Amino acid sequence: MVLFKKTSDLLVFFKHLCYYIFGDYMKILFGTRNKNKAIEAKAIFATIAPFVQLVSLDEIDPKRTIEEPIEDGDSFYANSLIKAKYYFEKTNIPTLCDDSGIVVDALDGAPGIYSARFSIGSNYKA
């Protein structure tokens, strides 16, 4: 059993484990083309997991040859999973995705996963 007295010891352990397994930093795709989301996620990962190289879709696919998947899940979680599986299949890079929207209690949670369809100038593809 390995015990760690400090979080930093655990991070060092995982860093060495990644080097051992991958020969370098562990690369994870953050499945978004939203530059601000990517910047924020990279800052978080740099703090909590400096041994992880987080890359965005625009970094690995700057010519946008990978299309966006159809998000037809029944929840934010389901749509995130759809995107993560799709981008992993396209890139063969472990993938982390999110999904979000506006949830209004007075509207019983609507528009929820359908938020993009209600935005002005939406280019939502169903």
- pLDDT tens digits along 104-117: 887 776 666 667 76
Mean pLDDT of 6-20: 65
Strand-pair category, 52-56 with 95-96: unpaired
| Residue 99 appears among annotated catalytic residues | yes
Question: For residue 107, what pLDDT is reported?
Answer: 75
Q: What is the mean pLDDT of the chain?
A: 80
Please report which confidence band the pLDDT of residue 83 belongs to, taking 50, 70 and 90 as the band edges.
Answer: very high
Choose the weakest-confidence range: 86-95, 96-105, 107-116: 107-116
Which CATH class name applies to 7-100?
Answer: alpha beta
**Catalytic: which of 9, 61, 74, 99?**
99
User: To the nearest whole percent, how much of the chain has pLDDT over 70?
Assistant: 67
Could you give the 3-state DSSP secondary structure of residue 52? Answer: strand
Task: Judge residue 99's burial from the number of C-beta atoms within 10 Å of its C-beta, 0-12 exposed, 13-18 middle, 19 or more buried.
Answer: buried
CA angle 107, 103, 71 (to 5 degrees): 115
**Cβ contacts of 77-85, under 8 Å, gap ≥ 24:** 79/113, 83/31, 84/31
CA-CA distances (angstroms) from residue 4 to 14, 26, 31, 80? 12, 21, 32, 33
Predicted local confidence at residue 58, as pLDDT: 95
